[in-house]
Amino acid sequence: MKLGKVYLVGAGPGDPDLLTFKALRLMQRADVVLYDRLVGKSILSLVRRDAERIYVGKLPQEHTVPQPEISAMLLRLAQEGKRVLRLKGGDPFVFGRGGEEIELLAEAGIPFQVVPGITAASGCAAYAGIPLTHRDHAQACIFVTGHSKNGQVDVDWDLLMQPRQTIAVYMGLKHLADLTRAFIAKGAAPSLPAALIDNGTRPNQRVVIATLDTMAEKAEKAGVKGPAILIIGSVVRLRDKLDWYAPEEQAHSAEAAEAALAAPAAE
Bridge partners, residue 175, by sequence: none
Q: How confident is the model at residue 267 (pLDDT cuts 50, 70, 90)?
A: very low
Contact 201, 127 (CB under 8 A): yes
Q: How confident is the model at residue 256 (pLDDT cuts 50, 70, 90)?
A: low
Contact 152, 178 (CB under 8 A): no
Pairing of strands 206-211, 193-198: antiparallel
Q: How far apart are CA 152 and CA 179, in angstroms?
A: 11
Active site residues: 36, 58
Which residue ranges make up each domain of the chain? 5-118, 121-242
pLDDT in tens, 179-196: 999 999 999 999 999 999
Whether the pLDDT of residue 264 is over 70: the answer is: no
Specify the pLDDT at position 185. 92
Mean pLDDT, residues 147-174 taken together:
82
3-state secondary structure of 257: helix
Pick the closest to residue 246 from 199, 205, 208 (CA basis).
205
Cis amide linkage into residue 227, ω under 30° from 0? yes
pTM of the model: 0.86
Whether the pLDDT of residue 248 is over 50: the answer is: yes
Q: How far apart are CA 197 and CA 206, in angstroms?
A: 6
pLDDT in tens, 76-103: 999 999 999 999 999 999 988 888 888 9
Q: How far apart are CA 49 and CA 130, in angstroms?
A: 37
Contacts for 32 with CB less than 8 Å, ≥ 6 apart: 51, 52, 53, 54, 77, 82, 83, 84, 85
Architecture in CATH of 121-242: 2-Layer Sandwich (3.30)
The CATH code of the domain at 5-118 is 3.40.1010.10
